[in-house]
Structure 1
Amino acid sequence: MVVLPLVTLVLHGALAGLFYAFSMSVMPGLNAVEPAQAEAAMRSVNRKILNPWLYVAFLGAPLAALAAGLLTGNVWFYAAAGVNFAGSFLVTVAVNVPMNNAINAGTMPWKDYSPRWTGWNTLRAVASFASLVLVGIGLTGL
């Protein structure tokens, strides 16, 4: 009964770490080079990040939290699923992916892309860490 909640914790931690790393190191690093270089690097990142490991964490975290809530009846897992869905999934689909598509298409310059994308990504990191904490609280009740 504790395996699924532990997997949920790991998935939330992986997702929070990914978003945190982008806001705290990847984007500042890209901001330190010429905009054309940053755009080219981000296009490469956008291609490479779309892989099964991303989907396991990105889709798996809220689904695992929901399943853990159903399995245990613990409301903290439901809360984690909701926070993750709203703060990570919806923000990604509504904001970050369209911006990635724009940078990939060359229709948004780096100076417009980077601060806005980083701000929304930081929100995803905060939401992911909040959902990680909620999963942790849920684990203490098992």
Structure 2
Amino acid sequence: MMVLGLVTLVLHGTLAGLYYAFSMSVMPGLRAVDATAAGEAMRGINRKIQTPWLFVPFLGAPVAALVAGFLASDPAAPWYFAAAGVNLVGSLVVTASINVPLNNALDAGRITFGDYAPRWTAFNTVRAVATVASLVLVGVALTR
């Protein structure tokens, strides 16, 4: 069970770090250059990020937390379930309902980078906060 708990922690930490890095450095960096170049760069990022390096933590973190919740002892289980729920809503739902549609609109030319960046970054920050919270919840579960 300890190995599953640590894997769950690493998956949540990886995802939290990704979202944090985008909100704190990538998007401000892109907003500091020409909007046309920034939009082209973001379209490239959106295409290249879709690899197992993204999908394993993106899909694996909430699944691992859920499985850990079912396998954990009584004091730890609710913390794992909470981590899974926070991650599902704060990462998966936000991504599917807001960030990916914005990415698709940018890719199709239906939105300018200037209109895209503030909204995308705000919701990416929501994802960062949610995954940091789920990371903390997994950490608490590991102490139970």
TM-score over 0.5 for the pair: yes
Give matches, 1:61-140, under 5 Å. 61-73=61-73, 74-140=77-143
Spell out, residue by residue over 1:64-119, the C-alpha distance to the aligned partner (whole angstroms, 9 max, x if none): 00000011141100000000000000000000000000111111011110000000
Q: TM-score, normalised by structure 1?
A: 0.98
Q: Give the whole-Å Cα distance in 2 for the aligned partners of 1:25 and 1:138.
A: 31
Q: Give the whole-Å Cα distance in 1 for the aligned partners of 2:12 and 2:52.
A: 16
Q: Give the whole-Å Cα distance in 1 for the aligned partners of 2:33 and 2:131.
A: 28
Unmatched runs of 5 consecutive residues or more in structure 1: none
SS at match of 1:107: coil
Q: Identity, % of aligned pairs?
A: 65
Unmatched runs of 5 consecutive residues or more in structure 2: none
Q: Give the whole-Å Cα distance in 1 for the aligned partners of 2:35 and 2:137.
A: 38
Q: Give the whole-Å Cα distance in 2 for the aligned partners of 1:3 and 1:110.
A: 42
Number of matched pairs? 141
Q: TM-score, normalised by structure 2?
A: 0.97
Task: Kindly indicate whether residue 53 of structure 2 is the aligned counterpart of residue 50 of structure 1.
Answer: no
Give the partner amino acid of 2:81. Answer: Y
After TM superposition, what 4+ stretches of structure 1 lie above 3 angstroms from structure 2? none
Across the aligned residues of Structure 1 and Structure 2, the Cα RMSD in angstroms comes to: 0.5
Give the partner amino acid of 2:51. Answer: N
Give the partner amino acid of 1:90. Answer: V
